[in-house]
Amino acid sequence: MDIEDSTDVTLQGLTINGGDVGVFCGDLSVCRFKNNTIQNATAAPDGVGGWVGRSRASFDGDVVQHNSGQGVNVANGSTAYGSNIQVNNNGGPGINIVGGSLFMGDPASIQNNGTFGVRVVNHSTFSLFAGAITANAGSGVTVRGASEANIQSVEGPINISNNGGNGVQIHDLSFAVFLSGAPPPLTIKGNNTTPDVNCFQLSYSAQNATTDIGGGTTNCTEPL
């Protein structure tokens, strides 16, 4: 499904199988996806479930699964919102956010993907206010290239655990903020590679990493 140069398109209740890209939202479009299953995109060179490029998209109750590449790719200054989205069992990162783009999950379930759960690079932003990032082959969240992660359990509990790498990695002048709501807990702990929150460089900021990750381990220090 290719949506381009369109200001109000809704896809609801569909099963979209195969292709190079399952659904593409591009060229300054506004796309609304609701209760769709987007799966089995395996054609070279991409195999991406949902691709948002230079556009805005919302996912509401969608399942993005079994794609050979990224589950959802948000690129080139795009914005995407996921409510009750499930991004599971994809070959690449569950959600890839690149090129000054933003993805917000509330809640989002990102599980069993072949590399990272969420990859945030090149001045991009990832926000999660409820959900789970678990059992991904690499780290749950990796933040690189002057990017930002806001992981705050203000709308419901967040669990980042059982990932093949760290729970959250912070690289390259990037920023992360953690906030454990009351009562919804934020837990970044449990069978991730230690430390659960890993700061890789000397110049970083990881606000509340020592206090609000539910007892997980970290090598981060608080900014003065």
Average pLDDT, the chain: 94
pLDDT at residue 210 in the model: 83
Structure tokens at 51: 């691709």
Which residues, listed in sequence order, are joined to residue 44 by a DSSP beta bridge? none
Instruction: Give the separation between CA 75 and CA 26, rounded to whole angstroms.
Output: 10
Output the CA angle 163-168-172, nearest 5 degrees: 135
Which residues, listed in sequence order, are joined to residue 63 by a DSSP beta bridge? 37, 86
pLDDT at residue 157 in the model: 96
Residue with tokens 């609801």: 12
Instruction: Give the separation between CA 55 and CA 101, rounded to whole angstroms.
Output: 10
> Which pLDDT band, with edges at 50, 70 and 90, does 205 fall under?
low
pLDDT at residue 193 in the model: 94
Q: In the chain, which ranges are continuous DSSP H helix? A: none
Q: What's this model's pTM, rounded to 2 decimal places?
A: 0.92
pLDDT at position 214 over 70: yes
Question: What's the mean pLDDT in 13-42?
Answer: 97
Residues 6+ apart with CB under 8 A from 120: 97, 126, 141, 142, 143, 144, 147, 148, 149, 174
Which pLDDT tens digit goes with each residue over 54-106? 999 999 999 999 999 999 999 999 999 999 999 999 999 999 999 999 999 99
